[in-house]
A and B are shown apart, each in its own frame.
Chain A
Amino acid sequence: MTTHAQVIDKVLTNIEKVMIGKRDIAELSVTALLAGGHVLLEDVPGVGKTMMVKALAKSIGATFKRIQFTPDLLPSDVLGVSIYNPREMEFEFRPGPIVGNIVLADEINRTSPKTQAALLESMEESSVTVDGETIRIPQPFFVMATQNPIEYEGTYPLPEAQLDRFLFKLKMGYPKRLEEVQVLARAEKTVPIDQLETVLTISELTELQHAVKEVNVDDTIKTYIVDCASETRNNPYVYLGVSPRGSLALMKSCQAFALIKGRTYVTPDDVKYLAPYVFGHRIILKSEAKYEGITANEIVERILTRVSVPIERVKMK
């Protein structure tokens, strides 16, 4: 079992060579990758979002695509178009940038809702439908979308209901002082990303994704997850709580996270650690909360301090 963890550790170490001091984000990204989910990174430009995704892609030897979203981008620019091939006398599908293993969707909130919807739908379905033809996107398929929280001018914020297409919503944050110095030092003569080697094959990754499903989630843990989710529905500040899909997402990510930690079972610590990333963007707050400056993540943290952790086996009623 530990071999899985060792394999993943190689990937993480690899990413760390490029992304100094961001092991937690790398870990979470890999968690999402293993759980088959997608990640929304929300942060200012220049903190290494792209680098992160590139490093991940390079480490696993996957194809990497990047879509820079602009207001004039059309769905076909994302999904691909059918072009008439005069030689073959038929329309031929040219897949768009979405068809790749690892896709960076940069500044997703800058494009029109139409294009956003096309992206989100293909993320959900893992397929592209153009002109009535459906094309499966090759696995593994992992989208990392970024959005810039600073500029609101000319943006189209993602509809909150669509946010739960993303497994996690993460914040990158600035590196610490010494870490930033190190970043500079490494980039002084070389481009670190070019030196990265592939440490994981696609088939190995698929194997890992299967292994995630084997990670044991005890009934007590399931109950704990459900308790946490239902608390979000009863919270006075919350307009709309976490849906069962949210609970499911939390369970799956916990499984993946446990695998990364070299465990074959999920512990309450996994749940507590991941809940803010999974639940944070799935909660719609009431306006009171916004006035009081309470964020969704704070609500989740508060809920976690209230729900009791299962520490012994209780018979399910």
Chain B
Amino acid sequence: MKEGKTDIRFLILMYALAFVLLWEWLLPVIELTDTEYIGVFLWFIGLSFLFRLTGMKWWLSVPLKIIYLFWSLHFVFYHAAFLTKDSVGHLVRDLISNFAIVGAGDWQNITNPMRTVLFFILLWMTIYLIRHWIEVRKSILLFYAMTVIFISVLDTFSSYVAEAAIFRIMVTGLLLVGLLTISRLSEKHSERLNTGMFATFSVPLLFAVIVSSTFASFMPEKGPVWADPIPFLKSAVLGEGSGTGGVVSKSGYDFDDSRLGGAFSKDNTLIFTATVPRKQYWKIETKNTYTSKGWEQRIDENPPVTYVPGAILEEVDYSDTANNLHAEINMRERLPYLVYPYGTSTIHARTDVLLKKQEETGQLWAMKDGESFDLDSFSVDFTEQSYSLKELREVTMEDYHSDPDVPELSEYLQLPEQLPDRVRELAMDITSKEESIYEKAKSIERYFSRSGFSYDQQNVAIPRGNEDYVDQFLFDTKRGYCDNFSTSMVVMLRSVDIPARWAKGFAPGEGKANSNGKVEYKITNNEAHSWVEVYIPGFGWMPFEPTIGFSNPVGIQYDLEMDISDPETPNMEERERPEPKKDETPVAKVKDGGGFGPFLKSVGDFLQKHAWIGILGIALLLFAVWLVYRNRGKWVPKLLIKSHRKRKPDWIRFTKQYKSLLKQLERFGILRTDSMTLSEYAKSVDTYFGGRQMGKLTEVYEQGLYGGYTNRQDWASLQEIWEDLIIRATG
């Protein structure tokens, strides 16, 4: 390394360019994950490069970086520039508790500080790699190519717009690659370039990059070949013209919930779009009877009530005008019932239909001429509900009996007889400390995210025989999706005599501003969801959200004077920042999820719907295969030794061994030109390793090849020499 010492000015330039490239990596990550504080990370990168440039010893730079890392965490999460005793203690405790979580592989529950630490570590490693590329390999093409691919993939498949970024990357990347090439060339010819010579090389490069990029930026842009690659790829894979409506072999929203559990496959089919100012939960129905395997609606129903469109379905409190909202819903797929947000007062639709509502289940549907009718579009007036936390906390179990307005709720306390006692005991345990109904419900809602439960769509059990769905989830598997969480919460609530029911519908979905400046939410089958409704006297049915990674749709006014120990606030905030995107719910359930066949089928379905993931997967696979192939020098010899030991020891085996040894030596780095004779090559090999092993093998080989002496007795000792040599050549 001594003679390869590069000019410091050159290094500064290289690191500056690399810094810009890394910046381009950070930008979309920050934007897409709603992470703020890009500056903190940029400073980290900058500091690392600076330490490197000043030649700081590792025992100084590593602690400095760790101190900076810690300070950044503190700054980001406690918004304070200076460390205080409390905040530091808090931070340290948080991180320590996270080590256990990381150790358990429970990625869902890692808290944000820990995530930031992990991200820093990732950055650190990347910086180290870049350093290696710049100073040792003097070739950064791989990183450059990865940057381009990363940004263009993001541009294509996410909302990140990378037009300017691509331009910046092209310019900095080309400069970086070009300058490093010059430096590599000068090293190859072991000539240090002085400034003048360096300029002679780099000025044309600079000129070429600037001219070509200026030229490119002024050129008219050609329109994309694919309007949107995703439908294109999909249709290419499915062999159909349309992207979205291609195959819907199974209904996304399942109305039969009598057997829950099992893995489910993703389904991106768009069900409806909703133009609405804020995220809403879209309710369809509720169910009241838990069968220990699933849900049914059992009690005899009253006849549905009929309304004309525009009539008031339900009296709600309009007093808070800011919360009076309107939603436009456009159906893309057929659903037997209407979807509607909480607080719906009126539904507007074409006037030649009648609306029917089943009060017990909340199902709403349209009839025309005595037959059910699918509305293409309708709109909803609704009022976002807002509850006072103070008032909620005043309602206790007593009020179920004392409040005269409470209706008959016994059906919402139903539980199967065979429900194991430990479920009830657990529920008692969780809720006993709380006085109010609301807090009891909240404590159960919180229980899941704090007790090692994890969100999982694939490895979800189906109860068999006498097993109870809830019991299995709470005590055995502890992993599942919304059905598991919501059902378990309902059952636990009922076991402590709080009336609750199981609600179904769709989660809010992905919103995007349309041309009118309004936000349009796309709700696909992946948003199918289930949650919990609890009856609280004086407030009625209130939704709760126990599923990890989702947030409660209900607005709560924190009109209390809260002490810091109140777990509510941090909890809510944590929930507000869930994983950037999580796939929501069980849609098409793969019944009998035990075997291997269904798994393959679900993988097949998944790939069919996400062609680009498939393509990416294949690309990754090919890359992996290529990597294995490239490193064949490491594993091929071992295989060879094993296979050759089994063969008959003779000239043919020896020929094969010798040739494979030649290849291995070449991979090892002792090159043989075509015009080199074997004994010349053997000499250089033996000089490298010492001894005369290769010479011996070569002599035998030459005797056989040129002299025709292939009858020997010493194959065994030759085999030993060969094994020894090929192992050495493995490096």
Contacts and interface: CB of A to CB of B under 8 A. Distances in A.
Contacts of A263: 707
A307 B675 contact: yes
Contacts of A247: none
Contact of A267 (B655, B674, B675, B706): B706
B677 A269 contact: yes
Contacts of A72: none
B659 interface: yes
A216 B706 contact: yes
Interface in B672-695: 673-680
Nearest to A311: B678
Interface in A256-314: 263-269, 272, 304-309, 311-313
Contacts of B677: 267-269, 272, 309
Interface of B: 655, 659, 662, 673-680, 702-703, 705-709
Contacts of A265: 702-703, 706-709
B707 A218 contact: yes
Given A216-B706, A218-B708, A268-B678, 15 more contacts: A216-B707, A218-B705, A218-B706, A264-B707, A265-B703, A265-B706, A266-B706, A267-B677, A269-B677, A304-B675, A305-B675, A306-B675, A307-B675, A309-B676, A313-B705
Contacts, number: 50
A238 interface: no
Contact of A309 (B659, B674, B708, B709): B674
B675 A309 contact: yes
B707 A309 contact: no
Given A308-B674, A309-B674, A312-B659, A269 B707 contact: no
10 contacts: A216-B706, A265-B708, A265-B709, A267-B702, A267-B706, A269-B677, A269-B680, A272-B677, A309-B675, A311-B662
A104 interface: no
A265 B677 CA distance: 15
Q: Which of B674, B679, B706, B707 is most buried by chain A, counting CB atoms within 10 A of its CB?
A: B706
B387 to A, nearest CB: 85
Contacts of B705: 218, 220, 311-313
Contacts of B674: 307-309
A281 to B, nearest CB: 22
Contacts of B679: 267, 269
Q: Which of B659, B673, B677, B702 is most buried by chain A, counting CB atoms within 10 A of its CB?
A: B677
A307 B707 CA distance: 21
Contacts of B703: 265
Q: Which of A220, A263, A264, A267 is most buried by chain B, counting CB atoms within 10 A of its CB?
A: A267
A221 interface: yes
A89 to B, nearest CB: 61
A308 B675 CA distance: 4
Contacts of A305: 673, 675
A258 B72 CA distance: 77
A307 B680 CA distance: 15
Contacts of A307: 674-675
Interface in A189-229: 216, 218, 220-221
A280 to B, nearest CB: 18
Contacts of A221: 706
A226 B676 CA distance: 17
Contacts of A220: 705-706
Contacts of B676: 309
Contacts of A268: 677-678, 706
Q: What 8 A-B pairs are tightest by C-beta distance, nearest first? A: A265-B707, A308-B674, A268-B677, A218-B706, A265-B706, A269-B677, A305-B675, A309-B677
A117 B678 CA distance: 43
Contacts of B708: 216, 218, 265
A218 B355 CA distance: 98
A82 B251 CA distance: 122
Nearest to B677: A268
A229 to B, nearest CB: 15
Nearest to B678: A311
A221 B707 CA distance: 10
Contacts of A269: 677, 679-680
A221 B705 CA distance: 10
Contacts of A304: 675
